[in-house]
Structure formats: structure tokens, C-alpha cells
Amino acid sequence: MAEELLDQVRDVVDGQIDFEGQKLAELLATVLLSAVGAISFIVGFITQNITLALKIGLAGTALTFLVVVPPWPFFNKHPVKWLPVGGGNAAPLAHQNIVVDEKSFSRN
């Protein structure tokens, strides 16, 4: 029972995200930081209060950090299926032709 709970905690803390999740994290970071920067500038300009603008900018940066840095489950919706260790089924690949720079090589 405790081992299963520990495995679940390890999966959450492990920090695995897939390639689509990396792309989403980059997009979220760019959009959120741009929006926070624009809002911070506009509010600071209208109120003529640089302290308020800096506080909004720092709060938005902290919010972006909380959204992007932890390995949330929605960042790992498309996990990569890796090949088995040791080659697995090498027999079907035994007689394939490999093309490199328009030169064909036979794999035996």
C-alpha cells in the first residue's frame, strides 16, 4: 500500500514531460510573460506608479513560473513509445535497405 503511494508520488515529482508538453510549456511561458509585461506597463503608465507596475510584473512572473515549471499531467499527454532495450525483434529489420545521401546500403 505504501509502495503504491510512493510510486504515485515519484511519478508526479519525476518531472517527465513529452515533446508536445515542452512545446506547450514554451508557448504558455511566452504568452503569459508577454501579457503580464503589457498589463504591467499599461497599469504603471496609467497610474504613474512604477512600484505597482513592478509588483504586477513580479506577481505575473511568479504565476508563470507556477504554471510552466512543475511537471503538470497535461504536459505528458503524448508520451513517447521507446523501442525495447537490446533491440527486441531484430529479425524483421535484417534485410532492409538504408538510404544515406542518396546511396543505398543493405543491412544484413
Q: Is residue 8 part of a domain?
A: no
Structural domain count of the chain = 1
Query: Would you say residue 71 lies in a domain?
Result: yes
Q: What is the pTM for the complete model shown?
A: 0.65
pLDDT digits (tens, 9 = 90+) for 55-71: 999 999 999 999 999 88
* Per-residue 3-state assignment (H helix, E strand, C coil) for 18-77: CHHHHHHHHHHHHHHHHHHHHHHHHHHHHHCCHHHHHHHHHHHHHHHHHHHCCCCHHHHC
Q: Which domain holds residue 44?
A: 13-78
Q: Which of 10, 14, 8, 7 is nearest to 71 (CA)?
A: 14
In a domain, 64, yes or no: yes
Domain assignment present for residue 108? The answer is no
Residue 7 lies in a domain: no
- Residue 90 inside a domain? The answer is no
The predicted pLDDT at position 33 comes to 98
Residue 94's pLDDT is what? 56
